[in-house]
Structure 1
Amino acid sequence: MAWALALGLAGGGAAQATPAAQMNPRKGPSAWPERLQLDYEVSARVGSLPLRASGQLQWLLQGDLYEASLTMRLPLVGARIQRSRGRLLPNGVQPLAFSDQTRRLRRFELDWAALRYRHQRDHEAEQVGPLQTGTQDRLSLFFELARRLRLQPPVADALWTVPVLGAGGVQPWTLRLRAQEPTETPAGVLPAWRLARHNTQPEDTRMSLWLAETVHFLPVRILLQEPDGDWADQRLRQLPQA
């Protein structure tokens, strides 16, 4: 379902973030919020059922260690919580652990020294596979894309390829930076860069993100569309307090 992948883009403990964004004392383009919370309104369709939901993205940075969580709560369907923890390095976001909790729990551990990952669902047998340099989990991906936009002047139609870790292992995701456009959200009309998953296969989830400088190039809108017709549209509820 589309709402599932909206969270499938999130271990360690949950980030205890506050609504206010507090700026990291590091200067220049590498500056990053130490604490950030973004709240979203979500509309979705699961089968023939239209749904309304709430979502929340949290981030906590202590030194070069981060914790992030993404939560969505849908009536009838239930909650999905993803968590990612790792390091914020000069050359990119480096996740160390990732979990995805619905009725079942998936856990991933990333061993960068050995370039291997371990994956386990509930109490099933553990699976092991290779990592690629620069691999992101489906939540750390948001922050890696934001980091790139902070460091590089955006160029329309630029293509980025990022290795992304999921239940099927590490797969290359190609994303196209479309253009900056006014984006309607409950927080107002915000200028944001649209980034869309490119060259998807019929069985892939289609994903579009609208990344706005006003929230450190994190998403002010997330649109996911499943091959079976399910979809979820997540839009920023309000701007964080300065």
Structure 2
Amino acid sequence: MPFFPFRRPRPNAGEPSDAAPQSAAPRRWGRWALAVLIVAGLHWSAVRWFERNRQPENPPPETPPVQIELLTPKPVAPAPAPKPAPVPKPVAPAPKPAPAAPPAAPILSAATPQPDAPAAASGVAASAPAAASGLAQPAAPAPASASQSAQAAQAPASGDTFNVPPSGELRYDTLVNGMMNQTGTIHWTHDGPHYEMVVSIPLPFVGPYVYSSKGHIDGFGIAPEQYSEQRGRRAADVAIFNRETKQIVYTKTPQAQPLADGAQDRFSVVMQLSSLVRGAPDRYKPGVTRQFSVADNDSSEIWSIETVGDETVQTRGGFTNARHFTRLPRKEGDRRKLDIWLAPSIGWLPVRILQTEPNGMQLELLWAGKLAAPAAADQGSDAGTPDASEESAPDARDAAKP
């Protein structure tokens, strides 16, 4: 048998071939990788489309302007009551003409006294025609000091003008890191001397975040007595504002801190700011900064909230003009931010609240209307702006939908 050195021996029929599996394996892995890339691309496109169609396009908070005025807590004065419409004075009826005197001699003798009549008789006769005419004599003008004292009694005391928002159940769309979440609510009630505020924010997988504040109204505005935070299923952390000992005590820590005049908690400060702006909206111009003493669940600190300016906020009901406020950094490297937008069309209530946590998580509340009409008429909105009750009608119908 001749020898062929370059001839490859043929495999036997019963032996398996290794060439086919080696060439098919790369093709199979390539098809799987291509399928994974296609599915990932489709999911990414769907997420982007969902974000564009569900998330309102609100611009990021602007850089605060340069501070031009610093406002510190001081006693507040109630907003002046609207002046009642002047009541028209009743028109006096025309005097009836005196009856015609009969042609008798006594009338002539009464107008012309006799020489032997005393001088007093002539004086009485002279005043008789004036009395008979029926015309009242004008009253003497009141002294100027009395009118000035009445105006001084109606003038409000010196301090910030303060107008508490009316009671109502407020509804907000909640967004977590820009993704639409369930609907949150702010329960706000006040009966004059007392108030209560409960903020409920639903979060997936961890349960709702519930913040509660209750207290009274004093000479510095809203005065919390108890503030609690409950995050998910954890026990609530409570801060007690002891007005007798002038201290704030906490259940989370044994330390106590002094209670300053006008002190607030993390959420009552929103209604305190709203009440101040409702009382004097023209005072809060860009650059104006107001300081608040704010207590958390374990400490108290000074917040400097600065007016950024008027902006447009997009909610489910459309575009709304609002005034933007931002909390300035409390210390160097402070990464927690808070931005508040108050809208005059809904009585200077918050139309948007954006909180940025130190880890970058953003929690946002966007106005979605009222669940119930306020108990009192809204006197805080500007003249010519629509009433909040007009916007609440379609939103109440939306709330009934599943």
Same fold? TM cut 0.5? yes
For 2:258 and 2:319, locate their aligned partners in 1 and report how far apart those are by CA, in whole Å. 42
Q: Provide, for residues 26-68 of structure 1, a one-character-per-residue CA deviation record: whole Å limited to 9, x for no partner.
A: 945755444211111111139xxx5623211111112310011
**Structure with higher strand content:** 1
2:173–2:367 contact (8 Å) kept in structure 1 = yes
Task: Give the number of the structure with larger relative contact order, counting CA–CA contacts within 8 Å between residues 6 or more apart.
Answer: 1
Confirm whether residue 221 of structure 1 aligns to residue 349 of structure 2. no
Give every structure 1 segment of 4 or more consecutive aligned residues whose post-TM-superposition deviation is greater than 4 Å. 28-31
Confirm whether residue 111 of structure 1 aligns to residue 242 of structure 2. yes
1:59–1:67 contact (8 Å) kept in structure 2 = yes
Per-residue deviation, 1:117: 1.1
Confirm whether residue 164 of structure 1 aligns to residue 289 of structure 2. no
Confirm whether residue 151 of structure 1 aligns to residue 279 of structure 2. yes
Instruction: Give 1 or 2 for the bigger CA radius of gyration.
Output: 2
For 1:31 and 1:159, locate their aligned partners in 2 and report how far apart those are by CA, in whole Å. 19
1:94–1:136 contact (8 Å) kept in structure 2 = yes
Partner residue, 2:215: 86
Confirm whether residue 185 of structure 1 aligns to residue 315 of structure 2. yes
For 1:38 and 1:59, locate their aligned partners in 2 and report how far apart those are by CA, in whole Å. 8
Distance 1:31 1:171, change over 3 A: closer
2:165–2:275 contact (8 Å) kept in structure 1 = no
The unaligned stretches of length 5 or more in structure 1 are 1-25
SS of equivalent to 1:214? helix
CA RMSD between the two structures: 2.2
For 2:196 and 2:277, locate their aligned partners in 1 and report how far apart those are by CA, in whole Å. 20
Distance 1:31 1:196, change over 3 A: closer
Partner residue, 1:9: none
For 1:162 and 1:31, locate their aligned partners in 2 and report how far apart those are by CA, in whole Å. 17
- Matched to 1:62, the amino acid is D
Q: Provide, for residues 178-234 of structure 1, a one-character-per-residue CA deviation record: whole Å limited to 9, x for no partner.
A: 101111111321111100011344344111110112333221101111222211121
- Matched to 1:142, the amino acid is V
Paired residues in the alignment total: 211
For 2:163 and 2:182, locate their aligned partners in 1 and report how far apart those are by CA, in whole Å. 32
Identity %: 23
Q: Provide, for residues 74-119 of structure 1, a one-character-per-residue CA deviation record: whole Å limited to 9, x for no partner.
A: 1112111111111123531111111111212111110123210111
For 1:91 and 1:129, locate their aligned partners in 2 and report how far apart those are by CA, in whole Å. 19
For 1:94 and 1:225, locate their aligned partners in 2 and report how far apart those are by CA, in whole Å. 26
**Structure with higher helix content:** 2
The unaligned stretches of length 5 or more in structure 2 are 1-79, 83-160, 374-388, 390-402
Normalised TM-score (structure 2):
0.49
Confirm whether residue 38 of structure 1 aligns to residue 170 of structure 2. yes
- Matched to 1:39, the amino acid is R
SS of equivalent to 1:75? coil
- Matched to 2:265, the amino acid is D
2:294–2:300 contact (8 Å) kept in structure 1 = yes
Confirm whether residue 132 of structure 1 aligns to residue 263 of structure 2. no
For 2:297 and 2:188, locate their aligned partners in 1 and report how far apart those are by CA, in whole Å. 24
Q: Which aligned pairs between 1:47-66 and structure 2 lie closer than 5 A?
A: 50=179, 52-66=181-195
